[in-house]
Structure 1
């Protein structure tokens, strides 16, 4: 495969991840947390960079796209740690609201958001019986796709980078 083909495939696979996440919301009724939403942005950046890499036949841009995918993997790794209770989330919006013990019902109702946020430590398991959360699936996917993109960028194509 050529650099252009590799980059086009990375663009397609990068865009597929956030699209699949949106589909899980719409068709499976899964609510995203703040860290879930953060994991999507590097994929969109990777897709755009990979499209540029394909147009310019640039292995350097392909490597940059692979790096962007790995950023999503790093956020996913952080998210898995939050889900497992290894560390707290760095985002304030990831915590369930805490109004204290002495709060009245009125105080509790005022503290609730119009649309409740899903806490980041509440793992979402899309496949019944399989104890792998969406964040863990994204971690594996991002590591694989990022490594593949970096490998292709470093190796180039058999026909040469200009093919």
Structure 2
């Protein structure tokens, strides 16, 4: 039982780092390689993933301790929060509810005022890209919530294995 608890611990630790790192990498590739500029709510989804990466790195650095387990659990929570924001954003995109009126632009150039005045507004209610009718926000929801749940299940298995 100790071996399965140890593998659950390693799985939780690695997922807590790999999932947000992969999602952040994917959105930056989409942004800079394919020109999909993020809206305000897209940015909101990134912030918890940045926090999750920091928590997961801390969890890996303190692996095998209570602090390490707590940091991995916080990473799972942050991943889940990003997924919840993604669900809200997807609902705005599908027209299920109204979103915030804030829009954003990412480039300021040499003349910040001219860049702001001439920058296109990136709407939160229009998906920049979809596959099978699911937007990036929808994929963030699906991947993040499932990953957060799996990490928490693995943490639970680890705890049960250690208590026996």
TM-based fold match above 0.5: yes
Q: Does residue 74 in structure 1 map to residue 80 in structure 2?
A: no
> Do the aligned residues in 1 keep the contact of 2:11 with 2:154 (CA within 8 Å)?
no
Counting matched residue pairs gives: 143
> Do the aligned residues in 2 keep the contact of 1:4 with 1:53 (CA within 8 Å)?
no
Q: Does residue 25 in structure 1 map to residue 31 in structure 2?
A: yes
- Aligned counterpart in structure 2 of residue 131 of structure 1, from 133, 136, 155: 133
> Do the aligned residues in 1 keep the contact of 2:80 with 2:148 (CA within 8 Å)?
yes
Matches within 5 A, 1:13-162: 13-57=19-63, 58-90=68-100, 92-94=101-103, 113-127=117-131, 130-156=132-158, 160=162
Flag the structure with larger Rg.
1
Tell me by how many angstroms 1:60 deviates.
1.9
**Structure 1 unaligned residues grouped into runs of 5+:** 96-109
Distance in 1 (CA, whole Å) between partners of 2:38 and 2:70 is 33
**Structure 2 unaligned residues grouped into runs of 5+:** 1-6, 105-113
Q: What TM-score do you get using the length of structure 1 for normalisation?
A: 0.77
Tell me by how many angstroms 1:114 deviates.
2.9
Greater share of residues in helix: 2
Q: What TM-score do you get using the length of structure 2 for normalisation?
A: 0.77
Could you report, residue by residue, the CA deviation over 1:86-130 in whole angstroms, capped at 9, with x for unpaired residues?
22113x3239xxxxxxxxxxxxxx9x8332221000112244xx2
Distance in 2 (CA, whole Å) between partners of 1:137 and 1:2 is 25
Could you report, residue by residue, the CA deviation over 1:5-24 in whole angstroms, capped at 9, with x for unpaired residues?
53133212211111100101
* Cα RMSD for the two superposed structures: 2.3
